[in-house]
């Protein structure tokens, strides 16, 4: 058998197989793009339907119609309504402003990353400029990979800008913000959107501070080494004694990245801002007295250091036991939450009183916004009357639940309806008549159950005084009741 001059000794038969793979890859890409394009057209149609429903009403009415339709689809897909709404808006933008790009994608001539790049570059442009970008972008995308097409499209979009960079920067400054992106293993990214000069200045200052820390560390190592050598020459005890401050500094093994991260966290959590509206003179203002608030649910044995079960940073992610114990040790007080040993439903809380403890109870029961698919933490959500107070709805656990501000508005401004069933279960009815049930999440920890209870409630998710007759059963004592604590903070008001 003869072989070609292809690299790595590839035979003619191998070359034929590779040619077939390339041909098949183009077909697969075209089929995938066609399927994705069908979803885009469907979502754009859903958005158009919502706008037809709103008619010529206000912008707010159109927004509520879009959110209501997005929630309808998201509930059917078991997805987040915010995610679906974003995809609806993107689909409508793509079909309305970038028809050539969309057609090329639908036919498998370009990649999804090409499409995302065109939309990204066209975001600040007006309708007329987007049409020019759309017409020119397809050629660049067909001839270049997304990475190579990016600078070409950015320069093209810049040439179509109707306003100067100075004007656009002034507008962009209005969108500065801070976000948290959850990561694995109990970590998260703090993302700050700032003017580029400030962002680079912050990084430069942190780098200089980290270098200063490392310089002190090196000097301490030299001093500690000299002290040990002197003690050894004089026959005195050295390394086994209580470590000196220099030896403590010398033991620091942190990298520059780690030191910068520690410095940033320390300054953000402990220092007083220079721009403080409460600052009367040269003294500390009111902003410096504000401390961070988090809600953490911890198994008791973890709190005591006898277990490695993770704790739950409510509404976000698990955290490790040592971190939870540190938080608990620095907290001014703990709110203990006892849960049903089998179902995990909240039974009661310490210090039960009509108002403050009812809030604690609801926070421990709900953990998050109670609209299907939403994970906004309860401590950043409103406590809503399921049956409106104005309509005679009582202020009790069986008629209260946490809703984030967006879903609180959705409940009152759209045809979505909700009723609360026993055990704190919320049954939502969509405008199309479909029902979706949201259960209280309960402790997000394995084996988080009650201990040392003299009796058990019915597991209805209501406070002890509202549960009625108790069960005759006795809970199994596993020794792991969760303990939730919130340093220096209360949940949002009713």
Give the pLDDT band of residue 349 (cuts 50, 70, 90).
Answer: very low
In this predicted structure, the answer to whether residue 188 has a pLDDT above a threshold of 80 is yes
Q: Is residue 90 predicted with pLDDT exceeding 90?
A: yes
Percent of the chain with pLDDT over 70: 72
Q: Is 285 contained in some domain?
A: no
309: nearest Cα among 406, 403, 446, 443: 446
Distance CA 446, CA 302 (A): 12
| Confidence class for position 43, pLDDT limits 50, 70, 90 | very high
Domain boundary among 173, 201, 224: 173
* pLDDT at site 333: 59
Query: What average pLDDT does range 322-342 have in this prediction?
Result: 65
Q: Answer yes or no: do 141 and 28 share one domain.
A: yes
Token digits of residue 418 = 């909700």
Determine which of 188-192, 232-236, 326-330 has the lowest per-residue pLDDT on average.
Answer: 232-236
Q: How far apart are CA 398 and CA 402, in angstroms?
A: 12
Given this model, what pLDDT does residue 85 score? 95
Residue 25 has φ and ψ, to the nearest 5°, of -60, -35
Are 326 and 440 contained in the same domain?
A: yes
Backbone angles phi, psi at 286, to 5 degrees: -70, -30
What is the domain extent for residue 76?
Answer: 7-173
Kindly report which listed range (4-18, 85-99, 209-223, 245-259) carries the lowest average pLDDT score.
4-18
Do 451 and 479 belong to one domain?
Answer: yes
pLDDT value of residue 134: 94
In a domain, 241, yes or no: yes
Identify the residue with better confidence: 102 or 392. 102
| Torsion from C-alpha of 414, 416, 419, 423, nearest 10 degrees | -120
428 burial level (CB within 10 Å; 0-12, 13-18, 19+): buried
Please give the pLDDT value at position 96. 93
The number of domains in the chain is: 3
User: Partners of 338 in the beta sheet?
Assistant: 348
Map residue 146 onto helix, strand or coil: helix
Pair (93, 206) in one structural domain: no
Do 380 and 436 fall within a single domain? yes
Asked if residue 161 and residue 220 are part of one domain, the reply reads: no
Q: Is residue 288 part of a domain?
A: no
pLDDT for the residue numbered 437: 93
The answer to whether 299 and 447 have CB atoms below 8 angstroms apart is yes
Tokens encoding 407? 């879903």
pLDDT of residue 481: 35
* CA quadruple 205, 208, 209, 213: dihedral, nearest 10: 170
CA angle centred on 93, ends 90 and 99, rounded to 5°: 120
The domain boundary residue, chosen from 104, 139, 173: 173
State both tokens at 322: 């040592």
At residue 316, the pLDDT reads 64
- pLDDT, residue 127, reads 92
Average pLDDT value for residue range 235-248: 60
User: Which residue bears the tokens 């430069």?
Assistant: 204
Q: Are residues 432 and 319 in the same domain?
A: yes
Band the pLDDT of 92: cuts 50, 70, 90. Answer: very high
Do 237 and 318 fall within a single domain? no
What pLDDT is recorded for position 115? Answer: 94
Q: Is residue 44 part of a domain?
A: yes
Confidence of residue 234 (pLDDT cuts 50, 70, 90): low
| pLDDT given for residue 171 in this prediction | 86
The Cα–Cα gap between 42 and 35 comes to 11
Confidence of residue 302 (pLDDT cuts 50, 70, 90): confident
Q: What is the pLDDT of residue 441?
A: 83
Q: What is the pLDDT of residue 117?
A: 94
H helices of 234-332, where? 245-250, 256-270, 300-303, 321-330
Indicate whether 153 and 209 sit together in one domain: no
Same domain? 253 vs 344: no
Confidence of residue 167 (pLDDT cuts 50, 70, 90): confident
Q: How does pLDDT run across 211-223, given as a tens digit for each residue?
A: 888 888 888 777 7
| 166 has a pLDDT exceeding 60 | yes
Q: How far is CA 442 from CA 182, 360, 422, 447, in A?
A: 21, 14, 15, 12
Residue 182 β-bridge partners: 188
Look at residue 249 and tell me if it is in a domain.
yes
Does 354 share its domain with 258?
no
Better pLDDT: 12 or 200: 200
SS3 402: strand
Angle of CA points 68, 73, 79, to nearest 5° = 110
185 found inside a domain: no
Question: Which residues sit opposite 339 in a β-bridge?
Answer: 346
Place of tokens 């709103």: 54
Across 67-81, 129-143, 197-211, least confident range: 197-211
- 3-class secondary-structure state, position 383: strand
Mean pLDDT for the chain? 77
Residue 78 shares a structural domain with residue 154: yes
Give the domain-ending residue among 173, 200, 224.
173
- 287-299 mean pLDDT: 69
pLDDT at 70 over 90: yes
Residue 18 has pLDDT above 90, yes or no: no
User: How large is the average pLDDT for residues 334-354?
Assistant: 49
Instruction: Say whether pLDDT at 232 is over 90.
Output: no
pLDDT single digits (tens) 445-491 = 443 332 222 222 333 333 333 333 333 333 333 333 333 333 333 33
Tokens of 30: 């075209």
């Amino acid at each position: 058998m003869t072989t070609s001059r292809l690299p790595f000794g590839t035979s003619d038969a191998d070359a034929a197989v590779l040619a077939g793979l390339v041909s098949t890859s183009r077909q697969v890409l075209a089929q995938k793009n066609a399927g994705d394009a069908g979803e885009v057209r469907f979502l754009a149609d859903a958005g158009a339907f919502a706008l037809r429903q709103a008619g010529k009403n206000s912008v707010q009415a159109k927004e509520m119609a879009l959110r209501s339709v997005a929630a309808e689809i998201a509930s059917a897909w078991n997805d987040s309504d915010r995610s679906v709404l974003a995809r609806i808006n993107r689909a409508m933008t793509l079909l309305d402003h970038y028809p050539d790009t969309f057609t090329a994608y639908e036919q498998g001539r370009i990649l999804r990353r090409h499409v995302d790049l065109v939309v990204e570059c066209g975001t600040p442009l007006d309708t007329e400029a987007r049409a020019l970008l759309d017409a020119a972008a397809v050629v660049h995308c067909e001839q270049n990979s997304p990475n190579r097409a990016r600078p070409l499209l950015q320069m093209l979009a810049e040439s179509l800008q109707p306003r100067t960079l100075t004007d656009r920067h002034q507008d962009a400054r209005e969108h500065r913000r801070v976000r948290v992106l959850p990561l694995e293993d109990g970590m998260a990214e703090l993302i700050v959107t700032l003017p580029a000069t400030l962002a680079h200045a912050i990084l430069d200052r942190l780098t200089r501070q980290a270098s200063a820390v490392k310089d002190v560390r090196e000097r301490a190592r030299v001093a500690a080494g000299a002290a040990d050598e002197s003690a050894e020459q004089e026959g005195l005890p050295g390394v086994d004694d209580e470590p000196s401050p220099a030896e403590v500094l010398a033991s620091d093994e942190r990298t520059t990245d780690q030191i910068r991260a520690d410095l940033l966290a320390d300054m953000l959590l402990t220092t007083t801002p220079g721009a403080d509206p409460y600052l009367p003179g040269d003294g500390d203002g009111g902003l410096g007295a504000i401390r961070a608030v988090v809600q953490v649910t911890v198994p008791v044995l973890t709190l005591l250091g006898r277990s490695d079960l993770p704790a739950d940073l409510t509404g976000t992610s698990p955290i490790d036991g040592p971190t939870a114990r540190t938080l608990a040790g620095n907290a001014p007080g703990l709110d203990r939450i006892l849960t049903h040993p089998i179902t995990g439903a909240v039974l009661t809380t310490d210090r039960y009183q009509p108002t403050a403890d009812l809030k604690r109870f609801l926070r421990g029961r709900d953990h998050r916004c109670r609209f299907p698919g939403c994970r906004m933490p309860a401590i950043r959500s409103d406590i809503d009357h399921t049956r409106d107070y104005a309509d005679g709805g009582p202020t009790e656990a069986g008629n209260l639940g946490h809703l984030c501000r967006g879903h609180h508005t959705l409940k009152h401004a759209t045809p979505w309806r909700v009723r609360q069933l026993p055990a704190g279960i919320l049954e939502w009815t969509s405008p199309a008549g479909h029902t979706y049930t949201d259960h209280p999440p309960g402790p997000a920890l394995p084996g988080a159950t009650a201990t040392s209870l003299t009796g058990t409630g019915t597991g209805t998710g209501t406070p002890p005084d509202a549960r009625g007759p108790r069960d005759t059963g006795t809970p199994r004592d596993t020794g792991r009741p969760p303990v939730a604590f919130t340093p220096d903070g209360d949940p949002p008001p009713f």
